[in-house]
Structure 1
Amino acid sequence: MRIVTLAAIAAFGLAAPALAAEPQVTVTYGPKLEKKIDEYGVRDVDRLAEDLRRSVLKEAARTPALDDARIELVLEDAVPNRPTFQQMSDKPGLSYESFGVGGAAISGRVTLADGTTRSVSYRWYETDIRWAWPSGTWSDAEQTFDRFASRLARNKDL
């Protein structure tokens, strides 16, 4: 009979190597964005920071070089494509049909498992209004996060 238990595998040293811990990703706000929190609304800005954290975590988890890394990010700025709920609440004449170009700026530091530290930064703002009309509130900022996360995972110099 060929039943092998995990305990038996571990006892004979045949177990797979221990899985490395996923990276730790933290996001804080830069001074420029902090000034906009009341305008955009705390809920929107907090959700935006969580979107950045999740995008980076998802891409970093696919990259062995970032196993056990500590990624400390600062969301320096963000510009919505459409008015946030707070903006529409504060200005009753404002419509969700309004749109513009958006984007975001990110900086931070990555500390790898071996202690190596490097600074990272990335910024992208849409420049063509024609791409803005089908967008959601934070489409360009979210696209910035995805681009940043992808570059970070590929170990590009940011």
Structure 2
Amino acid sequence: MRAVLVSPLLAALALGAALAAPLAAFAAPAVSSVRVSIGPGLAEKADQIGDRDLDSLAADLRRTIERRLPSARDGGVLTLVIDDARPNRPTAQQLLTTQGLSMESFGNGGATISGDYVDAAGQRTPIAYSWYGDDIRWARHSSTWHDAEDAFDRLARRLAKDQFSDAR
């Protein structure tokens, strides 16, 4: 009978593959497309907030998610809905329609996002995330949508860590 010798390099590669397999389950989900829309509740406030600002928010959320998640042709579809968003400073539309507001006005902002991720196999994972600033002292130095953009970034980081169940 002939003995089979395994080279140390092949043994190291086999061990590395065996160790990497469980880690693959914790990798960020591959996404083939990201769809972002404005929820009906927030769309009703378009007269107050402004269509341009809502379009900008949707584009910003999409860019933020696409920057953080790996893309793949055979990846899943991520559908997100901005259900609510509060600005730190008045939007251009609010300045036009509300007396007493100025760019010196400020407050805590943030956003609520829902949606789902459907992987390539068709398995659906719901997503719900909400974050609002809680310290008015920081709002004075913020841009109009700073806290909402921060909420988008926090969600993107969680999704990149494959924490769909923790994105609440």
TM range (shorter): 0.7 to 0.9
What is the aligned counterpart of 2:156 among 120, 137, 149? 149
1:68-111 CA-partner distances (Å, limit 9, x unpaired): 21001110000000000011111253200100000000000101
What is the aligned counterpart of 1:32 among 30, 41, 54? 41
TM-score of the pair, normalised by structure 1? 0.80
Take 1:151 and 1:22, find their aligned partners in 2: how far apart are those partners?
A: 14
Unaligned runs of 5+ in 1: 1-20
TM-score of the pair, normalised by structure 2? 0.76
SS, match of residue 111 in structure 2: strand
Deviation at 1:147, TM superposition (A): 0.3
Deviation at 1:22, TM superposition (A): 5.1
Unaligned runs of 5+ in 2: 1-29
Contact 1:23 1:57 in 2 (8 A): no
Aligned pairs for 1:40-51 within 5 A: 40-51=49-60
Deviation at 1:113, TM superposition (A): 1.7
What is the aligned counterpart of 2:91 among 76, 84, 90? 84
Q: What count of residue pairs does the alignment treat as equivalent?
A: 136
Alignment-derived partner of residue 139 in structure 1: 146
Alignment-derived partner of residue 104 in structure 2: 97
Of 101-110 and 26-35, more deviation after overlay is shown by: 26-35
Contact 1:23 1:60 in 2 (8 A): no
Matched, 1:118 2:125: yes
Q: In 2 relative to 1, CA 67–96 (structure 1 residues): closer, same or farther, beyond 3 Å?
A: farther
Contact 2:31 2:77 in 1 (8 A): no
Runs of 4+ in 1 over 6 A off after TM superposition: none
What letter corresponds to residue 131 of structure 1 in structure 2?
Answer: W
Kindly, what percent of the aligned residue pairs are identical?
49
